[in-house]
Amino acid sequence: MQSRELDQFEQTVAADHRVEPRDWMPDGYRATLVRQIAQHAHSEIIGMQPEGNWISRAPSLRRKAILLAKVQDEAGHGLYLYAAAETLGADRAELTEKLIAGRQKYSSIFNYPTLTYADVGVIGWLVDGAAICNQVPLCRTSYGPYARAMIRVCKEESFHQRQGYELLMTMMSGTEQQRAMVQESVDRWWWPSLMMFGPPDAESSNTEQSMLWRIKRHTNDELRQRFVDMSVPQAAKLGVTLPDPHLVWNAERGHHDFGEIDWTEFWQVVKGDGPCNAQRVEHRRKAHEDGAWVREAATAYARKKEQAA
Ligand code: 3HC
């Protein structure tokens, strides 16, 4: 006999209403949300590193200001998401320790190097574009605090994507060298951007249950296809070629067919053997340690205020 709480939970999800922090929820639902939200937050924080690499080398004050604003936004997204994880009883310090110890993941995409300034534009266009495809449906995820955090995140992601695309449009109307720099960057970032959506549905250990709980509203392959279909006309408008000879419109399907993703590379990067994994985690560990004094001071101040009250 199913419990009354489970009945209530299932009715809430089936009616597309929001599960809130004080509601009863299955342990598995809570654990899945902590896992996904924490890894989402880690991705935002680690994601500051690749582009942060170009802040001091932006070609103009305008470009520097835009990039600064974007990187600061990512920090804010991370904080919203850690706050959402805390409503599930997760401890932010513990989540950071798990990230640094390699016991929690972050998005594979941030383990690739930003070798030229064109990468700043291509990350905005493709990586933030993929993030928009993946995050807009999360505005309708069944867990209230996560869905609400996504609304503001998605508004800011649109700015991220647009600033990247505008940067590339400028470079593509520039010199031959600038156009070649953009194309070389697209060649490096296209396939890792498709990998952001996760493994194929058939190999996704979490998708089925996450769809039943309406944590996920679409599968990995559905969102990947949506991203490909969105990117092809944008690439044409930009005047770049996407590095996939099998990319072709399939009128029967009403979608673009595309080539096979290198899943060996994907799992290598997810398992820690990507081009920048060690550097990204080491940088995060050092920043966490260098910031210990701030946390200690804030805790001491809060304790003093408590004692004075
Ligand atoms: N990078 C690293 N790990 C990945 C991954 C990726 N691109 N895709 C999947 N994985 C991991 C999963 O975490 C899971 O491992 P776990 O069980 O230990 O957590 C395993 O591979 C199997 O994948 P599943 O498809 O079964 O996992 P999910 O159901 O969690 O789906 C996901 C993966 C689509 C990334 C989903 O977690 C999700 O939608 N997360 C929220 C969005 C998010 O995290 N986006 C990351 C980028 S954030 C960003 O781009 C910021 C922007 O400002 C640039």
Contact between residue 253 and residue 221 where contact means Cβ atoms under 8 Å apart? no
Q: pLDDT 10s digit of each residue in the chain, 309 long?
A: 668 999 999 999 999 999 999 999 999 999 999 999 999 999 999 999 999 999 999 999 999 999 999 999 999 999 999 999 999 999 999 999 999 999 999 999 999 999 999 999 999 999 999 999 999 999 999 999 999 999 999 999 999 999 999 999 999 999 999 999 999 999 999 999 999 999 999 999 999 999 999 999 999 999 999 999 999 999 999 999 999 999 999 999 999 999 999 999 999 999 999 999 999 999 999 999 999 999 999 999 999 999 998
How many whole angstroms from 300 Cα to the centroid of ligand 1?
Answer: 36
Helix (H) or strand (E) holding 255: strand 255-257
Q: Two tokens at 106?
A: 């972050």
Domain boundaries, the chain: 1-308
How many whole angstroms from 71 Cα to the centroid of ligand 1?
Answer: 20
Q: In terms of CATH, what superfamily is 1-308?
A: Ferritin, core subunit, four-helix bundle (1.20.1260.10)
Minimal-distance CA residue to ligand 1 atom 44:
40
What's the pTM value of the predicted model, to 2 decimals? 0.96
pLDDT, residue 309, reads: 85
Residue carrying the six token digits 């994507």: 161
How many whole angstroms from 281 Cα to the centroid of ligand 1?
Answer: 17
Longest dimension (CA), the chain: 72
Contact between residue 48 and residue 67 where contact means Cβ atoms under 8 Å apart? no
pLDDT, residue 104, reads: 97
Contact between residue 186 and residue 243 where contact means Cβ atoms under 8 Å apart? yes
Minimal-distance CA residue to ligand 1 atom 9:
198
pLDDT, residue 280, reads: 98
pLDDT, residue 61, reads: 97
How many whole angstroms from 199 Cα to the centroid of ligand 1?
Answer: 9
Length of the chain, in residues? 309
How many whole angstroms from 107 Cα to the centroid of ligand 1?
Answer: 6
pLDDT, residue 1, reads: 61
Could you tell me if residue 16 is left (phi over 0), alpha (psi between -120 and 50 degrees) or otherwise beta? Answer: left
- For the chain, the C-alpha Rg in angstroms (whole number) is 21
Contact between residue 256 and residue 249 where contact means Cβ atoms under 8 Å apart? yes
Q: Which atom of ligand 1 is nearest to the CA of 135?
A: 42
Which protein residues are within 6 Å of ligand 1, measured from CB?
Answer: 35-36, 39-40, 43-44, 47, 74, 105, 107-108, 127-128, 131, 134, 157, 195-199, 204-207, 210, 220, 270
Minimal-distance CA residue to ligand 1 atom 36:
36
Q: Two tokens at 41?
A: 């937050």
Q: Which of 29, 35, 36 to mutate to test the pocket of ligand 1 (most atoms within 8 A of CB)?
A: 36
pLDDT, residue 134, reads: 95
DSSP codes of every residue in 2-33: --HHHHHHHHHHHTTPPB-TTS---HHHHHHH
Minimal-distance CA residue to ligand 1 atom 7:
196
